[in-house]
């Protein structure tokens, strides 16, 4: 959701649509808005384009981390660190802006994503200490349990 909604939030203003989706990363949107502001002030479209590309690169890094975290633990850790920084910047901006009820859902969302990323990093750390045979046995047990529950519904 973070990757998709962040990308959509970058595309909406590019097409002149004044709408914002919750559940997105803050830093890409911030970079795009700053570049858009300076581009308008200095009448330099190169700033807007570079900000847009930079923002999409950050969203792309989140996408890469998500895709590769299924195989390599380091990528979920990188995503956790990046999203932690994003959440910190979000909180600083929210504090600077003063209390706004609209920010409550975004704050909860940033907290939940950080929580789940931390849980994923902890799970990867725990899996590192497990023997391959134990892991395969546990995986087979989980598959068998899922199949038996599923077969009850189709009987």
Percent pLDDT > 70 in the chain is 95
Over its C-alpha atoms, the chain yields an Rg (Å, rounded) of 20
Q: Which position has the higher pLDDT, 87 or 138?
A: 87
Cα-based distances in Å from 74 to 26, 69, 79, 88, 121? 22, 7, 9, 21, 8
Give the residue-averaged pLDDT of 59-80.
Answer: 92
> What's the pTM?
0.77
Cα-based distances in Å from 1 to 127, 135, 151? 26, 29, 31
Q: How many CB atoms lie within 10 A of CB 7?
A: 20
């Amino acid at each position: 959701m973070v990757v998709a909604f962040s990308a959509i939030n970058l595309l909406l203003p590019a097409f002149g649509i004044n709408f914002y989706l919750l559940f997105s990363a803050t830093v890409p949107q911030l970079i795009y808005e700053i570049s858009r502001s300076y581009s308008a002030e200095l009448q330099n479209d190169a700033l807007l384009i570079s900000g847009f590309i930079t923002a999409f690169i950050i969203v792309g890094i989140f996408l890469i981390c998500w895709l590769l975290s299924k195989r390599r633990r380091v990528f979920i850790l990188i995503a956790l660190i990046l999203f932690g920084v994003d959440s910190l910047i979000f909180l600083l901006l929210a504090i600077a802006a003063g209390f706004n009820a609209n920010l409550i859902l975004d704050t909860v969302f940033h907290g939940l994503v950080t929580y789940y990323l931390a849980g994923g990093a902890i799970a990867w750390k725990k899996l590192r200490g497990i023997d391959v045979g134990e892991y395969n046995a546990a995986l087979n047990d989980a598959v068998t349990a899922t199949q038996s529950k599923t077969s009850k519904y189709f009987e």
